[in-house]
Amino acid sequence: MAETGACPSSPPSAAPSPLQRAEHFVWLTARVLEQRLFAYHFLDGAADPVETALDAYRNDDFGYGHALEPDLRGPVSQPLHTARALRVLDAIGRCGGQRAERVCRYLTSVTTADGALPAVHPAQRGYPAAPFVPVVDDPPGSLLATGPVVGLLHRNQVWHAWLFRATDFCWQRIEALEATHPYEVEAAVAFLDAAPDRSRAQAAAERLGRLVREQRLAVLDPDLRESWPVAPGYAPGEHHFPHDFAATPHSLARAWFTDEEIGRSLDFLASRQQEDGGWPVAWRQWAPGTALEARPMVTIEALRTLRAYGRAIA
């Protein structure tokens, strides 16, 4: 017989899953948009609240601003903000129709002489911006800004006059790449994964994958990452890994890496979840609020990548 006043022992509670820990982090720190996105991706949330939250960042010119991309502050529309808006719309199945038509009107208005998008439009001048995205008066076309936008529009079967020259620009830049850097490679992959000419995309991706390995742009063994070079201008320790280029097993970049290399990369990604439930930001931090706003974005993408490869998160 148990002693009077003794309490029966209860089984130890299970440790929270990566998804549960991330959910706590998102509710604690994220903007409304990322809260709605998290609910959409992982909690059976609806698409309408995501789009409503995104609308707060849209301007009268049909571009997006208001620090949607945290490293560019201020209200003015920018290609990088608009690229992120398209990623959100694509994720919820709303990147088409009149929405895409209006975005293409904005893209047309800021296109450079070579038919592409600048990384930063001069309208940013006077507003805070990260030092690694300088504002110049006559910026050139940028694959970094153009590739993901063109890729998303092709992925959603959007046809607009703006796409013709922008698509040609992406092909020319990608097929001429020699020395490059990880973010430019990510932009190229975003284009190639959705480019309509699949045989040409396959050939370009194979060539790009060889460059990535030759120039050591992807850390193939995370345990030895300190021995890999960091691209000029990147933050100390700002490395890229196979999962950064092949965010899903369906990406053309997946063929660049062995099963073992992808496995190590995903193990490393899973291990990066921090005590507060979120994933860290790898790039250079320059203002107090930018990491706070970016970490929920990074956390959602980390979970989506792990899930895409069949890793347990729940």
Domain spans, the chain: 31-176, 207-314
How many percent of the chain have pLDDT more than 90? 94
Residue 8: pLDDT above 70? no
| 70 within 8 A of 117, measured Cβ to Cβ | no
Give residue 27's pLDDT.
98
pTM higher than 0.85, yes or no? yes
Residue 280 makes CB contacts below 8 A (sequence gap 6+) with 272, 274, 295, 298
Task: Fill in the DSSP letter of residue 46.
Answer: -
Residue 10: pLDDT above 50? no
Q: What is the dihedral of CA 245, 248, 250, 251, to 10 degrees?
A: -20
| Range of weakest confidence among 6-10, 131-135, 166-170, 175-179 | 6-10
| Span 106-125, pLDDT tens digits | 999 999 999 999 999 999 99
| Span 78-91, pLDDT tens digits | 999 999 999 999 99
Mean pLDDT calculated for residue range 164-178: 98
| Span 192-229, pLDDT tens digits | 999 999 999 999 999 999 999 999 999 999 999 999 99
Give residue 226's pLDDT.
96
Band of the pLDDT at 284, cuts 50, 70, 90? very high
Q: Write down the number of H helices and E strands in the chain.
A: 12, 0
| Span 183-200, pLDDT tens digits | 999 999 999 999 999 999
Closest CA to 58 of 78, 38, 37: 78
